[in-house]
Amino acid sequence: MNMFLPLLVIVLATVGIFQLRVLTAKLKFTLNPNALIDQTIKFQGAQLILAALVLAIAYFFNPENFSLFFHIGDVYAHISPISWLGITGTETWLQIASTLGLWITLGTGIFMFFQLKKANVDYHFFLFSLLWSIPFSMANAFSEEAIFRIGIVSPLYGLLSVPIILIISGVLFGLPHYFGTPSGIIGVIMAGFLGWLLALSLVETHGLFLAWAIHFVQDVVIITSIILMSKKEIK
């Protein structure tokens, strides 16, 4: 199989994600009186459909690899040594998700805190924002992990070396975040590192659960902040 075909699918899917935001914003029907919530419901629904399409294509490219990775996975699998992160290889992925994931979440939280401070948000709506962010984060984390992890790792595993696949996943996940949240160069670096780490977890645990879980927590922080910054009461 030509390795450029899976990459083309992911690039098109990435463009599709940006287009979905525009297209779903134009839909005439209303699902929620709050404009931001309404648009997010529509977008997340459309993105789930796009993710399902990418999963189907990934399965078509390599059913054996798809079956290998589209599982919960072994959270007690040991991570490979990563000297520059102080990881010796004796740690399990569950330990890494709990410790390194905590530091990543702290970094995301600090970045978003300054955005919230700049926006002078009303924290009376924090609980409402959090409750809405949970289902949105569950859906968004699954969709993006399906596209940027399964969609990349599954077709390319065995065609390219694992380090190259991890870099591809990190780069293709990081670059679109220049226009996302967190945004700019900082957003690209943060998302790129996260994408690399989550792809490694997929490869070494043979499953999607920990990648989804770490991603979910980041999205809860980000989406809660975005809803708070909308400064609109959620009904």
Closest CA to 149 of 231, 225, 215: 215
Q: Is 126 exposed, middle or buried (0-12, 13-18, 19+ CB in 10 A)?
A: middle
Cβ-contact 90, 77 below 8 angstroms: no
- Can you give the pTM of this predicted structure? 0.92
pLDDT digits (tens, 9 = 90+) for 38-71: 999 999 999 999 999 999 999 999 999 999 999 9
Residue 1: pLDDT band with limits 50, 70, 90? low
Contacts of 96 (CB under 8 A, 6+ apart): 79, 87, 201
Token pair belonging to 189: 């670096």
- Domain boundaries defined on the chain: 4-229
Strand-pairing partners, residue 160, are 157
